[in-house]
Structure 1
Amino acid sequence: MELISSAERNQLIERFAHDAFHLELRDDYTVPHEESPFTSWQRGEPNDLSWFGTWGQLVRRVVAAGCAVRRVRVVSEPHSPYIQWEHAVTAENLKAGEDIRWLPRHQVPSDIGFPLGGNDWWLLGDHLLAVGHFGEDGRVLGSEVVEEPATVAECVRVRNLLWDIAIPHTEYKFLIPR
């Protein structure tokens, strides 16, 4: 399996002028012992959003060109610390032009299966997938490009079903563990 980098995946997003949809299924995207904005936030430090600049610029560009950038985050409740941090910084995604919705894992209908082995994926247009792959330590390995029509069609179906039932960020009641 050939993997492309995050930068190459972002180039694909720029090429699809009408819709870029991301399905997130993991409750934790951290890499052990890695210094990151998340680990700084865990220590109670203010959010350093410098990491967001490149992504925010990309989203603003494609949204200005007429592309919808959407994502559904399927999350467990109570929320993991990583999901708490993601929720805390989602305002930046929204300001850039993304539309983000949340779906508690227990509300996913039992007849919906997650294609592609339960990996996260980007559906670009309605005909190309960039499937995320992670190492055992959680590190991003890259994205696999998938164009097989039946797989793409199943992801379009799942996207449409999940988008319709997911809760917009501004309406999602975030549960903070006590």
Structure 2
Amino acid sequence: MELISSAERNQLFESFTRDAFHLELRDDYSVPDEDSPFASWLRGEVVDYSYMEPWTQLIRRVTAQGKTVRRVRVVTEPHTSYIQWEHATTALNEEAGEKIRWLPRLRLPKGTTFPMEGNDWWLYDDSLLAVGHFDPSGRVLGSELIEDPDTVVECVRLRDLLWSTAIPHPEYKL
């Protein structure tokens, strides 16, 4: 399996034309850029969120072009510290133009199964998947690109189901 880096995956935002959707299924992400801000947040210190600027600038640019960027975060309750922190920072994503919804695992529609071995994925324009792969400690290894029509159709179906079921960020209280 060939993996592309997170930077290469982010380049896909330059070429999609309508909609990018991210399904997040993990209760913790070990992202090196977030280690220090997360540790500061855990200690109750003021957090420097400047590490998010490349992402929020990208989202502002693509949403200003009329494109949609959405994500559903499927989470376990009670929440991990990481999910609590992620919830606290989500306003920055939404201010940039992302639409984010939350779905507690206990509220998943009955019989929901996750394609791609339960890995997170980005779906671009209902035609291209970038499936995230992680090492045992939760660090991102990269993304696998998939264009198989049957797999994409299943992910489109799941996206639509979860999006309609999930709770918009402003309404989801921890």
TM-score normalised by structure 1 residue count = 0.94
Match of 1:151 in 2: 151
- C-alpha distance after superposition, 1:133-168 (max 9, x if no partner): 000111110100010110000000000000001000
For the structure 1 residues 41 and 157, does the alpha-carbon distance in structure 2 shift closer, same or farther, using more than 3 Å as the test?
Answer: same
C-alpha displacement of 1:114: 0.5
Would you say the 8 A contact 1:59–1:98 is kept in 2? yes
Q: Which residue of 2 aligns with 1:27?
A: 27
Deviation at 1:31, TM superposition (A): 6.4
The corresponding residue for 1:135 is: 135
Moved more, 85-94 or 9-18: 9-18
Q: Residues 105-116 of structure 1: matches in 2 within 5 Å?
A: 105-116=105-116
Report if aligned partners of 1:29, 1:82 keep a CA contact under 8 Å in 2. yes
Percent identity, aligned pairs only? 68
CA distance in 2, matches of 1:164, 1:35: 32
In the alignment, residue 161 of structure 1 is paired with which amino acid?
L
Instruction: Output the CA distance in 2 between the equivalents of 1:148 and 1:132.
Output: 16
Structure 2-normalised TM-score? 0.96
Unaligned runs of 5+ in 1: none
In 2, the alpha carbon distance for the partners of 1:49 and 1:14 equals 24
- Alignment deviations for residues 20-46 of structure 1 (CA, whole Å, 9 cap, x no partner): 0000000011269x8431122112211
Shift of residue 125 of structure 1? 0.5
1:55 maps to 55
Over the aligned positions, Cα root-mean-square deviation in angstroms equals 1.4
1:123 matches 2:102: no
Q: How does 1:1-178 map to 2 (within 5 A)?
A: 1-30=1-30, 35-174=35-174
Structure 2: which 5+ residue stretches go unaligned? none
